[in-house]
Structure 1
């Protein structure tokens, strides 16, 4: 997420990536030190705007693409891939999302006392995420000839429509990056240090410094190396959760 913020600032505004790294880390540290309830509230307020704008841009670009699928397929085959087969890439993406979001999902789920409501929320949220990813990928694929050199293709799509739309999309993407980074900072640090304590605040600052340094590896390199690794880790986590669910059901019976 830190590397992504740097790519966004450089691609859209021509600002050195290090500025984006610093601004995001500073903002996330300040936000993470707040209470959990406030983090959840921030995420819930910003998300609808981001989702709506991203879908509008991608759907528009999907229907205005002038290339046929044979030409698009030829261009797509020349792009970097996180896995040797498209199906494995898809599974890794699902597993990656589960892996990085598991801790924060547990935090959000614990705030809902009604188990049925939490279950319905998880199902609906998963469906919405799946539909969003499908639409986003179709939009990117339909314009891949224009986006093959862009580190942030959705932002490039928006800028193609209008510079103003590009700025709005940049704000939306920054919100998405901020949301994800905040959730990951909080959940990662809380695994090692008790939250809402002075030690926790110090640990958050240390994690922020490390994240700032790792951002210099570069967004594209991280996406093609770290993301797949987290996807494989997610397979193990999903397996552990399924085993735990089966055991709990057997005990109840």
Structure 2
């Protein structure tokens, strides 16, 4: 269960918890968004499970070994470096998202909000891995509770009736304009974001079954959150499309106290994702907790802080669709391995 919560904690960062990811990839397809979410979630469950299993079998301490095992040294190295680059890029997006969240929620200047997040991530990444996993998993239940309340209120008190949501859907704001393709691409984004951490978490699992089950539980929680956030935003689609932080807008419509609570949880899940992505980035190039690890951590966060000034929404639009395609390539490799293990006499590692 802890693996499942930690997996969810890595995924539900700035783009997810604020509603921006769900809005861009799903909600603006109107009623078709539900079909898109179910399709995407099924893929997420399957490939997440395969990634954790592979990490367990290889006892991986980074994503490098699973990638090379699937694609060979030459192609694997190329994917490895691309993945590392984007992991770092998404971590930078988390710093930018923290700046936006601090400003929207508490009136704190974005530069200061990002700085606070940077310091928190730095301190956490000096802890040992098991403590990091515990930190990542702790916030997820609170996010589920808040999203459930917000979604339920908005679904039962909609500003936009369900039979009118398609009139407010802005398909031109979606990545491709095709709900099924954006669903698949989003599942690739989730896998690309979580693959490194899933590999490491899988290797740390006590049993093969624990690795599989943890990834599956995480996928189910992610689907539940996607459906809830999507339902709430569909009920307020006209306003959600104009908000930088749509879920915060929905919370404010329920009660100011709920908005405050969600703001805190949102910052915590942004922090979760930043930690969850920076750790595999660091361990790819250094030995965990060594002098080089600490130096790269400091330099990486400082450089990321500078990059965060580009802006949260702009960074989401640039990075996420491309990263999704990388994840789909990895998902293809995992699927081929699964098929080979199912239907051939000689099982792959």
- Normalising by the residue count of structure 1, what TM-score does the alignment of the two structures yield? 0.93
Aligned counterpart for 1:59 among listed residues 152, 172, 195: 152
Q: Which residue of structure 2 aligns with residue 42 of structure 1?
A: 135
Residue 347 of structure 2 corresponds to 252
For residues 87-111 of structure 1, give each alpha carbon's deviation from its aligned partner in whole angstroms, at most 9, with x where no partner exists.
2222121111110111111222222
Q: Which residue number corresponds to residue 182 of structure 2?
A: 89
Question: Whole-Å Cα distance in 2 between the matches of residues 169 and 32 of structure 1?
Answer: 24
- CA contact under 8 A between 1:9 and 1:15: conserved in structure 2? yes
Computed over aligned residues only, the root mean square deviation of the Cα atoms, in angstroms, reads 1.8
Structure 2 partner of 1:179: 272
Within 5 Å, give how 1:61-76 maps onto structure 2: 61-69=154-162, 71-76=164-169
CA distance in 2, matches of 1:218, 1:91: 26
Question: What does residue range 75-224 of structure 1 map to in structure 2 within 5 Å?
Answer: 75-77=168-170, 80-224=173-317
TM-fit CA distance, 1:86: 1.9
- Contact (CA 8 Å) 2:175, 2:182: kept in 1 or not? yes
Deviation at 1:24, TM superposition (A): 0.7
Tell me, yes or no, if the aligned pair for 1:57 and 1:157 is still in contact at 8 Å. yes
SS of structure 2 residue aligned to 1:252: coil
- Encode CA deviations 1:104-131: one digit per residue, 9 max, x unaligned: 1122222212111221221122122112
Q: Deviation of residue 252 (structure 1)? A: 2.7
Unpaired runs of at least 5, structure 2: 1-93
Distance in 1 between residues matched to 2:245 and 2:308, nearest whole Å: 15
Q: Which stretch has the larger CA shift, 165-174 or 102-111?
A: 102-111
SS in 2 for 1:232: helix
Which residue of 2 is the match for residue 30 of structure 1? Answer: 123
Q: Which moved more, 1:214-223 or 1:72-81?
A: 72-81
- Normalised by the length of structure 2, the TM-score is 0.68
Give distance in 2, aligned partners of 1:132 and 1:78: 22
Give the number of equivalent residue pairs: 253
Task: Tell me if the contact between 1:33 and 1:204 (Cα under 8 Å) persists in the aligned partners.
Answer: no
- Once residues 327 and 296 of structure 2 are traced to their aligned partners in structure 1, the CA distance between those partners, rounded to angstroms, is 25
